[in-house]
Amino acid sequence: MEGGPNIQVAVEDEETCCDRAYHLCCHPSGKAHRFLALIFMCILGFGSYFCYDNPSALQKQFKQDLNLTETQFTALYSVYSWPNVVMCFVGGFLIDQVFGIRAGANIFMGLTLIGQLLFTAAVYVNQYWLMILGRFVFGVGSESLAVAQNNYAVLWFKGKELNMVFGLQMSIARMGSTVNFWLMEPIYQWVSTSSTGTKILGLSLLIASATCLFSTICSLILGYMDKRAERMTRRSEARTTEAVRITDAKHFKGTFWLVTCICVTYYNAIFPFISLAQQFFIQRFRMNVKDADHISSLIYLISGIISPFTGFLIDKIGLNILWILISTVGTIIAHLLLGFTACDPYIGVIILGVAYSVLASGLWPLVAVIIPEYQLGTAYGVCQAVQNLGLAIVSIITGSIVDKWGFRVLSMFFLGNLFMAFMFTSILLIIDQRERGVLNLTPGGRKKHQEVILEEIVQRQRLLSAEQLPVDVEAPAQESADNNSGSDDTRLRNRYISAVDRLSS
């Protein structure tokens, strides 16, 4: 009998620990469960990023084995971008209004896999028109998939974690690009021992396609987890009933369009440079193919390693626009060093990798601050669409510049884009300061701004309610209204908290 109470306490403690462990690991709001979902979100884009730069990692082999000119080679990148001038925008709208995030992610991941397999088959039989078609389909799926990935991040990680989550997503995605530069050359050499001609390239790309299959499996698992989370948290009951129209984009704020302009002008100096980086380092710094591939992959490797840390840092410090300005200046310095000096190219590449990761961690979360949650798919789709329009045009321009004038003029072209990005960022900062916005505030400043907005909403509703009261209202009725004012305020706060929750960090 003396041991009875002790046994009872032990059982209760064990049950409490089990409950906590279940909530931590199995409930959608548990940290471990959300971290597991984040892993699948990150791997969602791994396959598409790995396969996107397959041609760049095997640039020499593509040109020699398939007899491609510089213009034909860069067309493999421009045709990836052209359909997304429209499809990213449409894809974002379809995710918001038609498919939903889960079905949309699975559909676009499937298109990514099909496009990569088409491209692989085309290379195997050396049919250039089919290569173009394959990259077209791959682009339609891949860029719209990125929109779904961004929506997943905002849906699961609102508020103070969002910069870190975007940084981690970019980290894993860029690791896919880095591993591509590391592995594709050895895979090509291994396949060449048992095959000949264009079959070597085709079989090498088939092996690369396994990464897209892996990402497809992750997309299905993440869809199941999200459906379960929606059911357990009753998320659909709190969802806004406002309809999304494809014409909503024309009503987006000017600050959103400035963020979009920063995105396109900055990335015009990153992705086209990486697609031509192998030949750039071979000609500019007399490197061999292996060293050129290594230093080209270093940009993605550095950004992949430090992106979670830069995202975490921006979460704690805030001041997103200031970080974007710093990263743009850093990228300008990197291109100056690489294009016009005899400085060790590794210095320029390291600066470029760091600056690139800082910009991505600071820029993309701003869309979720500016645009309401129910329109985020459309908003991210517009960003991706404009970005792809820029990349499609620039991919053609850069190929022609290299063919006609060489890499020094190409560096000048990249610097021109970066100066425009700096100008757009400066304008965004000025507008945000003038309008007393939240884009460049610290986390504490955004929290205070949110409290002010909530108080203004409550006061406005009180005034509207007072204006609707009859003049001869009886005192008891007034007293009753006063007694209920606290509950009214609570309801009003609950009603509008979701609309301004994205301002919190």
pLDDT tens-digit series, residues 366-420 = 888 888 877 777 788 788 778 878 887 887 788 889 888 989 999 999 999 999 9
Query: What global pTM score does this model have?
Result: 0.67
Find, among 42, 138, 31, the residue nearest to 83 by Cα.
Answer: 138
Q: Is the pLDDT of residue 123 over 50?
A: yes
Contacts (Cβ under 8 Å, ≥6 apart) of 346: 295, 298
Find, among 258, 314, 254, 309, the residue nearest to 446 by Cα.
Answer: 314
Q: What is the mean pLDDT of the chain?
A: 79
Q: How confident is the model at residue 332 (pLDDT cuts 50, 70, 90)?
A: very high
Q: Which two tokens stand for residue 196?
A: 């000949």
Residue of higher predicted confidence among 251 and 310: 310
Q: Is the pLDDT of residue 171 over 70?
A: yes
Residue 410 vs residues 62, 280, 305, 324, 327: alpha-carbon distances, Å: 22, 10, 28, 23, 20
Residue 415 vs residues 128, 273, 284, 353: alpha-carbon distances, Å: 33, 11, 17, 16
**What percent of the chain has pLDDT above 70?**
79
Q: What is the pLDDT of residue 395?
A: 78
For the residues of 316-350, what is the DSSP string, one character each? HH--HHHHHHHHHHHHHHHHHHHHH--S-HHHHHH
Q: What is the pLDDT of residue 237?
A: 58
The model's pLDDT over 476-505, given as tens digits with 9 standing for 90+, comes to 444 444 444 444 444 444 444 444 444 443
Q: Which two tokens stand for residue 386?
A: 């404009």
Tracing tokens 């190409």 back to the chain, one arrives at 410
Q: What is the pLDDT of residue 203?
A: 93
The model's pLDDT over 44-97, given as tens digits with 9 standing for 90+, comes to 888 998 998 898 888 888 888 888 887 788 788 878 877 777 777 777 778 777
Rounded to whole angstroms, the Cα distance separating 211 from 218 reads 11
- In three-state form (DSSP H/G/I as H, E/B as E, the rest C), the secondary structure along 425-480 is HHHHHHHHHHCCCCCCCCHHHHHHHHHHHHHHHHHHHHHHHHHHCCCCCCHHHHHH
Q: How confident is the model at residue 16 (pLDDT cuts 50, 70, 90)?
A: low
Q: How confident is the model at residue 12 (pLDDT cuts 50, 70, 90)?
A: very low
- Stretch among 56-60, 181-185, 463-467 having the lowest mean pLDDT: 463-467
Rounded to whole angstroms, the Cα distance separating 45 from 174 reads 9
Judge whether 43 and 172 are in contact, CB under 8 Å.
Answer: yes
Find, among 365, 424, 421, 21, the residue nearest to 170 by Cα.
Answer: 365
Judge whether 47 and 212 are in contact, CB under 8 Å.
Answer: yes
Q: Is the pLDDT of residue 244 over 70?
A: no
Rounded to whole angstroms, the Cα distance separating 123 from 127 reads 6
Q: What is the pLDDT of residue 18?
A: 60
Residue 354 vs residues 94, 209, 294, 503: alpha-carbon distances, Å: 34, 29, 17, 27
Query: Where does residue 436 rank: exposed (0-12), middle (13-18), buried (19+ CB within 10 A)?
Result: exposed
Q: How confident is the model at residue 340 (pLDDT cuts 50, 70, 90)?
A: very high
Q: How far is CA 341 from the centre of its chain?
A: 33
Q: How confident is the model at residue 178 (pLDDT cuts 50, 70, 90)?
A: confident
Rounded to whole angstroms, the Cα distance separating 314 from 306 reads 12
Q: What is the pLDDT of residue 119?
A: 94
The model's pLDDT over 227-238, given as tens digits with 9 standing for 90+, comes to 888 887 776 655
Q: What is the pLDDT of residue 28?
A: 67
Q: What is the pLDDT of residue 500?
A: 44
